[in-house]
Structure 1
Amino acid sequence: MTENAAPDEHVPGGGSPAAPAPGRPPTFTSWLRSRSDGELAALLSARPDLAQPVPSDIGALAARATSRNAVLRVLERLDRFTLQVLEAVIALGDDRLSEPVGVQTVDLAGALGTLPLPGAADGGGASGSQGGAAEDGPAGDPLADALDTLLELALVWPDRGRLRPVQVLRDLIPHPAQLGPPARVLLAGLPHGAAARLARDLVPDSTAHTPVETVATLLADPGRVLGLIGQVGPQARRLLDGMAWGPPNGTVSDARREVTLAVASSPVETLIARALLLPSGDDTLTLPREAALALRSGLLFREVTTAPPPFEGTPNPGEAVTRAAAGQAFTVLRAIEELLERWSQEPAAVLRNGGLGVRDLRRAAQAMDTDETTAALFVEVAHAAGLLGADDRVEGEWLPTRAYDLWRETPPERRWLRLASAWLDSDRVASLNGSRDSGGRVRNVLGSGLVRPAAPQARRDLLGEMATAPPGFAPLPGSLASRLSWRRPRRQSPVYAELVEIAAAEAAALGLTGRGALAGHTRPLLEGEDDDAARVLAAEMPKPLDYVLVQGDLTAVAPGPLVTGLARDLALVADVESTGGATVYRFTEESVRRALDAGQGVADITALLERHSRTPLPQALRYLVSDVGRRHGRLRAGSASGYLRCDEPALLEELLGDRRAQDLGLFRLAPTVVASRSNRAALLERLRQLGYHPVPESGDGTMRLSRPEARRSDPADVPPPPGGSFRDMARAAVRAVRAGDEASNAARTPIPLPEDGPPGSRNAAVLEALTRAAKDGRRVWIGYTDTDGRQVSRIVEPSSVDGGFLTAYDATRASVHRFAVHRVNAVAELDGPEPGGGNGVPGGDRRGAAGPH
């Protein structure tokens, strides 16, 4: 019996049945159909891959929920105990075992060694179409919670008071609890003569129809199996005991030998003759599931752990952890902003493989005042957040994107949240930078070799497990590894362990953890509560300052982060000398000239510093600004090949006599004009090196002053954030699935359409039927071929038919659409009353503007 049977079962009135139609056995599809909208929404929220794209109806949802890949994905999220419960359902609820099919919760509790669920003696909560197998259990009952989880994930389903696993689990977990297949499966693989001999030897007076059923029925009785075991000798018993807890297979020569009770001599032959070992291959003997359960005294596992091992580690004050993480978060923001500001002026080159060169990474680490491993992480996170991208030139460069300018203007906590969210969802692992791939090629930052699809889940597994510890508790790495091994047993591998270890280091470097514990602002971030995360982080993040402390040694100290405008203006007039808890800026001739070149005057610079300095401006700084300002612009460079113009002939005389300027090839054209063989750009650069502070001028003699060009790349290809919560999208998907299921299963009477006739006669009949339905205000069912070529069912309320198009309210999509009439391949009248009465429009008139379908 397959789960997807009966996809077209009749539902009177188009509603959702509470139970299968009378006389028909329940199916996985009918159980899904009987689930409430809230339960289906919970399923789609827990398994979002089932709603991408939205299934057309319940049958399609059931097929997708039981597909191999979909079930494999959800199995990886089960903890050890829930997986043991699932294996118990698979082992005891296998439909190849004796009737009835499925397992009762009381039998599960006994096989797992846990206390029986209240009311489980008669099937417990597994009875009923809603499948609350564990809902009757007490709060905090591990078995009840595990069954709730399995039912919510649609890995098991109730069938007349018993639980059954979805069919694909038989192939995905072929040896549940290290058990072999049921005896009926092994016996079916024997030649008829061999099965008949076993039946004659073991049950000579059987009335079963076949030898296979005779022996299978015998082995289904634990008491009779123990009787057979008691007949074998010590060596054979030791062999059985060695296979009882798995693996259930053993290798032996000539496993398919013909053995009877009369001729069995060796321990192996003794077991074969009693069907306690059955051949599953030419050289393989297998212990049947029923025999193993008898040997285990009905238990499935030697050890059942209902909770992960306790945490081991160091407690810390929660406020101190959050404060330390917030300080690191501020460091991340400062470092990334510093790098991107520098790359906007002097971008790094894009390698031929699309990555970042080793030298550029080393310079980036120096700019951010960190090591290369951390610099690689910051660069990758900036790229993942859409703040860094490559331009579209042939010889590309890494530049900030236009989104960076908007990001820089947002509050610090929101800037960090964007970076942290991008890291959580990114499948790139920056720490692999510098390693070699299987072909011996070195992996580069921003290159293609750093992709690890399992990285996002490893990060969320690690942080989610840390979130289960008390606030401020820093678990030891070994303790975390043990708990993750219990929490995600099917994910354990050397690769996964490496990703978890890397995630721990990267989370600390990004400020998601502090002192080895999860930060207070990370907990709401993991739950999707960005506003709460921002509020917690903002309380601990250093507040932006609008002042500096100017000192007598031509430096200014910013004791904390500066507001964006002041930071930008100060970076123009001074150079960053050191960073850390405080940032030190140094004023030099070059930095002051840079501000003057950007169009600021001496008075502007002095006013800026006086306005934002908490200390008086030292005389040395005033002299520096005045001296550079006095010399700035006295020489003006234009284009001939290049020329210099100055209102002070003495300065030109000084320049012509300067031996350092001989390479410029200067010669006088007039008392205030000197020409050069170099172009203007080279002339400006060389004279600035000599300390003359020239400025460029345009053709009309005016100075050309401007800020350095801020270059930007195109926005990075970052997926937009979802428009609503997963719950909202799941509820919308459930409505669409329900409507599609109604369209697929609604009782209807087909309207005859001509199969043979003049061209266009079929379309004419469709037009006539739809026009009549629009006139009468009746809903109809249509079979439709959509633009992708798929055959879909729709329940529509026609509004008008005009120009070869049907305008109608589509109940499946809960909106008005236009349908091309030539794509309608079937029309049917709906049986039963219209929902809502009248014209079938509950809540008012649905007619409105139509969109193309």
Structure 2
Amino acid sequence: MKKDSPVPTLKGWLDTQSDDQLSVILRNRPDAVLPLPPNLGSLAARLQLRASAVRAVLKLNALELAVLEAAANIGGELHPVSAPEVVEYLRATLKDDAPSEAQIDAAIITLKNYALLFGDEQVMIAQETMAALPAFWRLLPEVGDRGQSEKEVRESVEKLSERHRKLLDTLAASGGFGLTRDAGPNADPTRPVPQLLAAGLLARVDEQTVRLPAMVRHIIEGREQLPAQVKEVTPSAVPGSDDAGLAAGLEVVRHMRLLIDALSLVPAPTLKSSGVGVRVVSRLKKELGFDDTELFRLVCLGTDARLLRIGVPDPLPADDNGGDYLAPTELADEWLDADLNQQLATLMTGWWEQTWAAWLVGEADEKDKPIHLLSYSNNIDGLEDTRAKIMASLTRVTPEDLHADLAFHYPLAASRMKPETITHLIEEAKWIGAYADGVTAPGRALVEGAQPEDVISAPTPVETFHVQGDFTIMVPGPLTPTMQKMMDSIATLESPGLASVYRLSEKSIRHALDVGLTTPEILEFLKDHSMTELPQSVGYLLSDIARKHGTLRGGPALCYIRSDDPALLHSAVEAGADVALRQIAPTVAIAQAPLLKVITLLRNAGFQPVAEDGEGASLNIAPSPARVPVYIPGPPVPALDEGRIAAAVKAIRRENSASKGTVSTQPTLAVLQAAVRGQKTVTLGFVDKQGVAVHRIVKPLTVNAGQVDAVDEATGAVHRFMLHRITEVIVDN
């Protein structure tokens, strides 16, 4: 290129590209399309905005970033450079790890498709592209480095004197560059700067300026040096075990049902500062039998799946404190009634979009205070994108090669991923069933943007089981929701999975009697669904517990308590002073409080009363489940489909070459009326309400009453233009 040749511009290069190439650019840079740019100059300006460039570079792999960095290092931001120059630079810096010439050429084409590079035989870097990279970002080894490994540089830094180390610390804190009189080649070799230059821990920019190399900077700041992973990792992943993943996912479904039932009965009050407090967490753990990790994951998942939400429940708890509560939403009822496939698919979709980091609960925040469940510090922006990248990598490689694969395909994102975040997200994937010795079919569906319920094949729920003499119940498959709820009421799960084992015990049967079930109902359930004759030992266990349970009876008379045992009733009256329980007969007492409150108080005092109706039949006096309104997100931003891309290219081209159209000398009204009759597309020039001149490609529909209704070619929307604001009409030839 001649020295006096003008520097090429992105706008000039765009003007020479085909419609197909412009479509590729718009597809890769959709943020530059909406709203529709009026011409190529405007499109070029948008493509060179810092925010747009940031979105684009985040999509590049390590090879493409290395090519971009190489082009910048040989001056591609200031003047055109050739592909052979880029190839030569990469070979010199990466040596045996350098990519092939074909790979570099393919990367250059990709960068052009993103409009980050532009040009034909020679290319330049679009403005703001390098500035869009993180501060001090460097992927390639620096020219002039001695070829030292990170270990060697680290050892050199550790051997430095306090004076030398302080100098490096100062440079790291001040941006990496420093001015000094000791930078020249003839400087006193006993001075610190020449000594650091000689050791390769500083780089000379000129005779007055030194720079801290990237590797040294990372070591000084305690950060890992990102390797120049410019070659793709060999695929090593194998398909996951769908059966194991399904078993894990169905266990999460079962636990979610239990959590929803618990919060339906007693919504969890939240802290004024946001989040769920430690006391509430402890109560739920004890009631449900979950550990911290399980409970935190379930609450975070339920919230992102829109099954749980913090708000004001209906009905309010009896001891309402005027604050908000964590409670199920109306959507939880639909989820509870859905089949297993839909239930698991809903949870997997919620997990895929989840931004709550369950593992942070209990850790110290930036103010050294513990992070509460569902508090603001428990939420991580961009967590769903990190999860998607990790899962996408796991479809290609095993966990052993995960970091290398992330470093190649998503280098910028990978440089910000914390190792503990990666570990926890993989553990969550195993927990929900998206990963089981490999990515499972539902996990792959999520990665590919498909619906997981299309590939989930939960076994048909069973309605029979095998009751054994040792009080265990062998269930050969998942139970129906109704049977599952009954089983959870009367027995304790011992072995989860697609085939599960439950155990009847005194504690589990008492729990069933407390929630309103009767001994005959439990026996009938077991007999109706048992594949064999019910063992006598089970009947004896139920009869023995029933004799001790329910000897204290209560009814809705605002209210009465009766018992055939006068001594027991007398003890109950003494315990019921808070509800004004008063004995009116040897076997009858009354209270001036609702029956539910009296029953609850007596149970807390160690008694085992049950409620009855006027005829002595047992009642279920559990309150209506609490619900909060479900959060309804706004409509998703419409995707930039091929039709809109084609319309945008056509509109930009038409505006850019408007001079090739016919600017009518006839009155505007007559031209627009003729365009309506001929169904012609026109370019309208008009002044908007802010006084800005605008051009838009439209197809006029009607012209009347001093206004024009027309369809926007780019968006398909109908707009109304005032006739007096229209400055010109260019008819499409």
Partner in structure 1 of residue 651 of structure 2: 739
For 1:262-315, what per-residue CA distance to the aligned partner results, in whole angstroms no more than 9, with x for missing partners?
xx99899xxxxxxxxxx98993279xxxxxxxxxxxxxxxx986414668xxx8
Partner in structure 1 of residue 367 of structure 2: 439
Percent same amino acid at aligned positions?
Answer: 22
Partner in structure 1 of residue 297 of structure 2: 377
Structure 2 matches for 1:83-94, cutoff 5 A? Answer: 83-92=65-74, 94=76
- Distance between the aligned counterparts of 1:497 and 1:454, measured in 2? 16
Within the candidate set 711, 728, 732, 1:828 is matched to 728
SS at match of 1:514: coil
Q: Structure 2 vs 1, CA of residues 659 and 171 (structure 1 numbering), >3 Å: closer, same or farther? A: closer
- Distance between the aligned counterparts of 1:602 and 1:434, measured in 2? 43
For 1:706-731, what per-residue CA distance to the aligned partner results, in whole angstroms no more than 9, with x for missing partners?
665222221135566677xx5x6354
- Count of residue correspondences: 640
- Distance between the aligned counterparts of 1:148 and 1:732, measured in 2? 24
Q: Which amino acid in 2 is paired with 1:576?
A: T
TM-score when normalising by structure 1: 0.63
For 1:143-172, what per-residue CA distance to the aligned partner results, in whole angstroms no more than 9, with x for missing partners?
23322321222211224x222221223545
SS at match of 2:367: coil
SS at match of 1:819: strand
Q: Structure 2 vs 1, CA of residues 785 and 566 (structure 1 numbering), >3 Å: closer, same or farther? A: farther
Q: Which amino acid in 1 is paired with 2:427?
A: A
- Distance between the aligned counterparts of 1:57 and 1:388, measured in 2? 48
Partner in structure 2 of residue 800 of structure 1: 702
CA RMSD, 1 decimal: 4.8
CA contact (8 A) 2:83 2:105 kept: no
Within the candidate set 135, 150, 155, 2:116 is matched to 155
Q: Which amino acid in 2 is paired with 1:62?
A: A
- Distance between the aligned counterparts of 1:752 and 1:37, measured in 2? 31
Partner in structure 1 of residue 124 of structure 2: 164
Within the candidate set 596, 607, 613, 1:681 is matched to 596
Q: Which amino acid in 2 is paired with 1:637?
A: G
Gaps of 5+ in 2: 93-98, 144-174, 190-203, 212-226, 314-321
Partner in structure 2 of residue 490 of structure 1: 412
Structure 2 matches for 1:358-397, cutoff 5 A? Answer: 358-365=278-285, 369-392=289-312, 394-397=322-325
- Distance between the aligned counterparts of 1:467 and 1:491, measured in 2? 18
For 1:648-681, what per-residue CA distance to the aligned partner results, in whole angstroms no more than 9, with x for missing partners?
xxx7675588321333543449x99864455433
Partner in structure 2 of residue 527 of structure 1: 448
Structure 2 matches for 1:621-640, cutoff 5 A? Answer: 624=542, 637-639=555-557
SS at match of 2:119: strand
- Distance between the aligned counterparts of 1:175 and 1:360, measured in 2? 45
Q: Structure 2 vs 1, CA of residues 384 and 38 (structure 1 numbering), >3 Å: closer, same or farther? A: farther
1:615 equivalenced with 2:532 (yes/no)? yes
Structure 2 matches for 1:228-627, cutoff 5 A? Answer: 251-253=179-181, 283-284=208-209, 306-308=230-232, 318=239, 321-365=241-285, 369-392=289-312, 394-469=322-397, 474-476=398-400, 479-491=401-413, 493=415, 496-515=418-437, 517-530=438-451, 533-534=452-453, 536-538=455-457, 541=458, 543-552=460-469, 556-571=473-488, 574-578=490-494, 580-581=496-497, 582-584=500-502, 586=504, 588-592=509-513, 594-596=515-517, 607-618=524-535, 624=542
Q: Which amino acid in 1 is paired with 2:555?
A: A
Q: Which amino acid in 1 is paired with 2:582?
A: L
CA contact (8 A) 2:550 2:608 kept: no
Shift of 1:591: 1.2
CA contact (8 A) 2:683 2:698 kept: yes
- Distance between the aligned counterparts of 1:773 and 1:48, measured in 2? 31
Shift of 1:509: 3.0
Gaps of 5+ in 1: 1-22, 115-136, 181-246, 258-263, 269-278, 287-302, 645-650, 754-764, 834-853
For 1:485-521, what per-residue CA distance to the aligned partner results, in whole angstroms no more than 9, with x for missing partners?
3444434557544432332333333333224x43344
Within the candidate set 766, 782, 803, 2:684 is matched to 782
- Distance between the aligned counterparts of 1:267 and 1:626, measured in 2? 97
Q: Structure 2 vs 1, CA of residues 613 and 80 (structure 1 numbering), >3 Å: closer, same or farther? A: same
Q: Structure 2 vs 1, CA of residues 518 and 38 (structure 1 numbering), >3 Å: closer, same or farther? A: farther
Q: Which amino acid in 2 is paired with 1:795?
A: I
CA contact (8 A) 1:744 1:793 kept: no
Shift of 1:52: 5.8
Q: Structure 2 vs 1, CA of residues 653 and 454 (structure 1 numbering), >3 Å: closer, same or farther? A: closer
Q: Structure 2 vs 1, CA of residues 339 and 52 (structure 1 numbering), >3 Å: closer, same or farther? A: farther
Partner in structure 1 of residue 720 of structure 2: 819
Q: Structure 2 vs 1, CA of residues 468 and 424 (structure 1 numbering), >3 Å: closer, same or farther? A: same
SS at match of 1:518: coil
Shift of 1:826: 2.2
Shift of 1:796: 3.2
SS at match of 1:658: helix
CA contact (8 A) 1:347 1:398 kept: yes
